[in-house]
A and B are shown apart, each in its own frame.
Chain A
Amino acid sequence: MNFNELLQNREFVFLDGGMGTMLQARGLKPGASPEAMSIEAPDVLVGVHLEYLKAGADIIYTNTFGANRYKLTECGYSVDEAISAAVKNVRKAIELSGKDALAALDIGPIGQLLEPTGSLTFDEAYDIFKEQIEAGVRAGVDLVVFETMSDLYELKAAVLAAKENSELPIICTMTFEENMRTFTGCSVPSMALTLEGLGVQAVGVNCSLGPDELYSVMEELSRWTTLPLIFKPNAGLPDPVTNKYNVSPEEFAESMVKTVPLGVKIFGGCCGTTPDYIRATVNKLSHKQYTKQSPKIPAAVCSSSDTVVIDQPRIIGERINPTGKKLFKAALLKGDIDYILGQAIEQIHAGADILDVNVGLPGVDEKQMMVTAVKAIQGVTDVPLQLDSTIPEVMEAALRYYNGKPIVNSVNGEEKSLSTVLPLVKKYGAAVVGLTLDENGIPKTADERFAIAERILNRALEYGIRREDVFIDCLTLTASAEQEGVMETVRALHRVKTELGLKTVLGVSNISFGLPNRELVNCNFLAMALSNGLDLPIINPNVASMTGAVRAYKLLTAIDKNSVEFISAYGGDNSAPKPAQSAVKASDMTLAYAIENGLKAEGARITEELLATVDSMEIVNEQLIPALDRAGEQFEKGKIFLPQLILSASVAQAAFEVIRRKMIESNSSPVCKGKVVLATVKGDIHDIGKNIVKVLLENYGFEVIDLGKDVEYEAVLNAAVEHKVKLVGLSALMTTTLKSMEETIALLRANNVDCKIVVGGAVLTPDYAEKIGADFYAKDAKETVDIAKKVYGE
């Protein structure tokens, strides 16, 4: 019998129970590797498996929870050895039992956190899981189980590794806290949407708490998936001193039965449970019937923490896109990810529910940039993303590294597009935007566009993509060029919404191209489209009237019940931006005063005004730099402290930004006194210090190539060579990562890179800096600036 037959033929399917306590009772030393026992004491393992089989288990987990190359290093066995021995033990137990039971390759978390909180990359995680899967396939398991997962991103790497390296059925359980979230903040709907999208066979919950405490998690899960549910809780809660669990086998079984109406199909036990718990559960369920649930899963997309249900208009922010934006283009060419992150956060504050991400630009490696941008954005925001590229390889990479369920932008009615994009959408479990155009271009009439929409839908359904995951874009044409076309778009949208029942998406701003007062046109068109069934307007949410039009629509159509959302956006709150209290009247304020007093908005405003009459270099050299120097001096004398220095620096940064923008817009090159590469060395994840250095260097007109934290030695070398810098700055906070600093310097020297190296960080000293071959030691950010000036011969 295989896994699917088991699901079909049995009323309920039973897993085994706890392994750790069973092994400890049979001689496993605390702190020793449980996996080594599969090899060193196979009879013990066969004995435990057999007890669970006799208690009623249909699926036995192999003793391989931590059998990955990272965790096994200490015990000296290879992944292959640990897994093949463990599978053999399960097979032997099954044979002895005479039962028709299955062996599940058990895989737990790697034991290191993935980036951005930890240092492990998605690809490294994938490789670690791949090695386990391949060993499991060789050893002949019947299915793969990923359990006790708390990071959806790690689990995604695991599921892809299993799907791409085996044909085995996959089941997954994650571990939730009482607040209905995992340690990394993953929510139940996000888990369900993402995993069902990735095509696993069953999902559920294990470990952390007892069956009663986890009931509400299971209840929530049952609303968000059509897959069979797995429930494998602990035997209650452990006593902090004795470590004994507080729920008896009988009580456990009682509580398990309560989840039958939720549609739980697969039952088992985790920490603290023994064969008695499984036996009691099997007995209690013997007269019960599986109650399959068929919840209607709404159209929805998600990040790992937040889910956006498209049951009302949701704003897709369009600003992460270089088209027609000089500053954005400059940032992309420079690899300035912080600029993109700033755009992301600004749009979310303005009211975006979803962000479109497009980084395509000639001269930029789009695939590389897309992956970097997706990783960076999901590291600091919670909104779902719409991945936007015309190149399939870029799209696949974006889908792979996205954590959650994204929207693919886009597919169209052309056969070539349908047959390349839709398989990707299916594989990665995304939603997709279908553009109503094909090889003949954009049809003139609403009916023709409707026909393409229908074609796209049918092909998507053939690929196994859910109807709810197909969003149709009926395409906005510019009113100035094709005035008659406007209503065709609106009519097509209306038909798609009402006749096909699909969600609709529309880029709005294009309507007013070439017209005066574009905002007015955009706003009215948006209102028309919303009234005709637009679900996903793609707009610039920073334009208050556009976001306002969506909010007003929701108010007027009673979607925004009791106007809560509207009032919270616009009502009553006068406490918001209160003007900076200052002894100086705004009109008399100087740039120096703003810098000294940390008045960011004022600093930017004054700079803007100054630029009308004063040359930008004059502002930099005669106002900005002297003010910064004064702040630096005060800091050195202990009159002000680091937070104030940084505050002053960030005012100067805002002023610089104004100048830089002006220069890029007028096509002159921005101030650059020289380029500096900065990196927090490999293994080190503390990069606040480096970031402060960056701000100050930029203040003084240096261009910083910021490589971030935990940076590979080669990445520093490559950046130093590529940008031909004269100065590389390295930061390390911990004694353990000083070694990485030394290695990075050695690599730069071995390759004869013609640059000076400055190092800094809490545990560094001038002596040590010299010992590891650095040219300079900087005790703080201020000193780094002095060194940079010296190197660039000021």
Chain B
Amino acid sequence: MIKIERIDRSEAFRYLGYKGNSVPDDKINELADICEKELLSVIQPKLVYRVFHILENNGDSVRLTDCGFSLDGKDISEHLAGCEKAVLMACTLSAGTDRVIRKAEVTDMTKAFIMDAMASAATEQVCNAAEEEIFANVTGYFRTWRFSPGYGDFPIDVQRDFLEILNAPKQIGLCANESSLLTPRKSVTAVIGLSETEIPRKKRGCGSCRMKDTCAFRRRGDRCEF
């Protein structure tokens, strides 16, 4: 069972646009206290994952055993290069989180805004805790970082198959809508590569991203998590 006791505030403030040495004032910090308390009372982290053998990785696409679909794209192929296995994982803060944010949107927009960012930070923490839980069970491997549908050229419309193979709708109440957005909103799906031998550190960041010339985030001076 994953539990989080505190929410990583500095991460949340980074999402809110605070950069460098700038820190929020007392008023915003006070609001953050309230938001954190409310969020922690409703967040129910849930995780589901499965380990697959990698059948074939031809550089454009990765096929897994016992999996009805392939992981397409050069970026995910490169991410899994040199790996014998892949973990597919999905985790969520659950529907209660969406609900408190919705409520805050009606009563206090500043609070809603801060709460939304804090919930995103909590999602990241839950992912980290999920990884710990997974690799307490799955031992003896070197592993890559988490690579999610929508990163680089890994198509986001894989979401539905991804969730289905993990039985995520039934196991943790996580679905995708027609636009491949995860519902509840504060959720993540990701692929982690496993190898018995050391994996060369996978490149991360815009420099190594295939979408760097056309990326909308980048042009706005922003970035995704790739």
Find chain B residues with CB under 8 A from A649 CB. Answer: 109
Does B2 sit within 8 A of A, measured CB to CB? no
A650 touches B109 (CB 8 A): yes
Query: Which residue in chain B gives the minimum CB-CB distance to A642?
Result: B17
Q: Give Cα A112–Cα B25 distance, bound, in whole angstroms.
A: 41
A683 touches B68 (CB 8 A): no
Does B10 sit within 8 A of A, measured CB to CB? no
Interface residues of B in 197-226 (CB under 8 A from A): 216-217, 219-220, 222
A691 touches B112 (CB 8 A): yes
- What distance in Å separates the Cβ of B204 from its nearest Cβ neighbour in chain A? 20
A118 touches B177 (CB 8 A): yes
- What distance in Å separates the Cβ of A431 from its nearest Cβ neighbour in chain B? 25
- What distance in Å separates the Cβ of A739 from its nearest Cβ neighbour in chain B? 8
Residue from B24, B66, B106, B169 in contact with A30 in the complex, judged by beta carbons closer than 8 Å: B66
Interface residues of B in 17-56 (CB under 8 A from A): 17-19, 22, 24-25, 27-28, 31, 44, 49, 51
Segment among A190-198, A324-332, A730-738 that sits at the interface with chain B: A730-738
Find chain B residues with CB under 8 A from A379 CB. Answer: 99, 102
Does B58 sit within 8 A of A, measured CB to CB? no
A683 touches B179 (CB 8 A): yes
Does A792 sit within 8 A of B, measured CB to CB? no
Q: Give Cα A379–Cα B22 distance, bound, in whole angstroms.
A: 36
Residue from A241, A338, A642 in contact with B16 in the complex, judged by beta carbons closer than 8 Å: A642
- Known contacts A31-B161, A345-B103, A644-B28; A684 and B181 CB within 8 A of each other: yes
Find chain A residues with CB under 8 A from B157 CB. Answer: 736
Q: Give Cα A642–Cα B217 distance, bound, in whole angstroms.
A: 18
Find chain A residues with CB under 8 A from B99 CB. Answer: 117, 185, 379-380
Residues of A within 8 A of B (CB-CB), count: 62
Find chain B residues with CB under 8 A from A779 CB. Answer: 220
- What distance in Å separates the Cβ of A73 from its nearest Cβ neighbour in chain B? 10
Q: Give Cα A148–Cα B137 distance, bound, in whole angstroms.
A: 28
Find chain A residues with CB under 8 A from B116 CB. Answer: 688
A113 touches B179 (CB 8 A): no
Does B185 sit within 8 A of A, measured CB to CB? yes
Query: Which residue in chain B gives the minimum CB-CB distance to A380?
Result: B103
Does B138 sit within 8 A of A, measured CB to CB? yes
Of the listed residues B68, B105, B161, B173, the one surrounded by the most CB atoms of chain A closer than 10 A to its CB is B173
Query: Which residue in chain B gives the minimum CB-CB distance to A581?
Result: B26
Over the window 112-156 of chain A, the binary record of Cβ atoms lying under 8 Å from chain B Cβ atoms (1 yes, 0 no) is 110011111000000000000000000000000000101000000
Does A643 sit within 8 A of B, measured CB to CB? yes
Does B142 sit within 8 A of A, measured CB to CB? no
Does B95 sit within 8 A of A, measured CB to CB? yes
Does B113 sit within 8 A of A, measured CB to CB? yes
B179 touches A692 (CB 8 A): no
- Known contacts A31-B161, A380-B106; A109 and B178 CB within 8 A of each other: no
Q: Give Cα A689–Cα B27 distance, bound, in whole angstroms.
A: 21
Of the listed residues B16, B169, B172, B220, the one surrounded by the most CB atoms of chain A closer than 10 A to its CB is B169
- Known contacts A30-B68, A641-B18, A643-B113; A113 and B102 CB within 8 A of each other: no
Residue from A31, A32, A641, A737 in contact with B24 in the complex, judged by beta carbons closer than 8 Å: A641
Does B108 sit within 8 A of A, measured CB to CB? yes
Residue from B19, B101, B106, B150 in contact with A342 in the complex, judged by beta carbons closer than 8 Å: B106
23 of the cross-chain contacts (CB-CB < 8 Å) are A30-B165, A31-B67, A31-B161, A111-B175, A113-B173, A117-B183, A183-B94, A184-B173, A241-B137, A241-B138, A342-B106, A380-B106, A598-B27, A642-B16, A643-B31, A644-B25, A646-B109, A646-B110, A650-B108, A686-B181, A688-B101, A736-B179, A737-B181
Chain A residues engaging chain B, CB cutoff 8 angstroms: 29-32, 109, 111-113, 116-120, 148, 150, 175, 179, 182-185, 207, 240-241, 338, 341-342, 345, 379-381, 597-598, 638, 641-644, 646-647, 649-650, 683-688, 691-692, 695, 734-737, 740, 762-765, 768, 779
